[in-house]
Amino acid sequence: MSIHLLGRNTFGDVANTGNLMPIEEAHQLLNEWVPNDRLRLHMKQVAAVMKAWAIEKEQADELTARKWELAGLLHDADWEKYPDDHCRVIVEELERRNIDPEVIHCIASHGPQYFGVEPNNIMDKMIYVFDELSGFIHASALIRPTKYDGMDVKSILKKLKTPSFAAQVNRDDITDAIARINTPLEDIIQFIIDHQKDVQ
């Protein structure tokens, strides 16, 4: 991923706290902006894992879980159509729609060294953790005859140490993201396998 510094650290208006678009509307935006089925699936998988983590690990209420889900669903929404302005376009679109600033900041912080925005809270940190790993685990599933069935953490760890496999996945990003949270990499991998395997 190339560097597209956003040049700011604050996003949206605090007056819009709690203002989220319906998830159906977010899917509609994806359908308009993201023709690539594989990229759309990636965003749906990250959304599912984010929502599950919020509910299961953070005991989030419904509104908070929806924030996590929305951030996951839209984090790469501009990547295909606007590669030279990745993140900037979706951030500005969500600001225009008066979306909760925490959602916008979360999206802006999903690649700190690319966009120049540091993950602040646990939602920000987890989208950074899940983004690369989710795609990597899905790539691993695609080459297995049984896909996700029987996939184990050990095989994923082994592939992470093989630079030629899914070479576009930045291992340094994964290491940096994991260092920011208090959960071992092995537990994160298992959580992703469990929660994204059935996403369509």
Q: Angle 78-82-88 (CA atoms, 0-180°, nearest 5)?
A: 65
Looking at the domain assignment, is residue 7 inside a domain? no
Tokens representing residue 46 in the block: 């990250």
Q: How confident is the model over 53-87, as pLDDT tens digits?
A: 999 999 999 999 999 999 999 999 999 999 999 99
Looking at the domain assignment, is residue 4 inside a domain? no
Does the pLDDT value for residue 46 go beyond 90?
Answer: yes
Instruction: Report the alpha-carbon distance of residue 63 to residue 61 in Å, rounded.
Output: 6
Question: What count of other Cβ atoms lies within 10 Å of the Cβ of residue 143?
Answer: 10
Looking at the domain assignment, is residue 19 inside a domain? yes
Looking at the domain assignment, is residue 155 inside a domain? yes
Looking at the domain assignment, is residue 5 inside a domain? no
Instruction: Report the alpha-carbon distance of residue 111 to residue 124 in Å, rounded.
Output: 10
- Return the CATH number at 87: 1.10.3210
- Residue 152's region, left for phi above 0, alpha for psi from -120 to 50, else beta, is beta
Number of domains present in the structure of the chain: 1
Residue 123's domain comprises 14-196
| Average pLDDT of the segment spanning 85-104 | 97
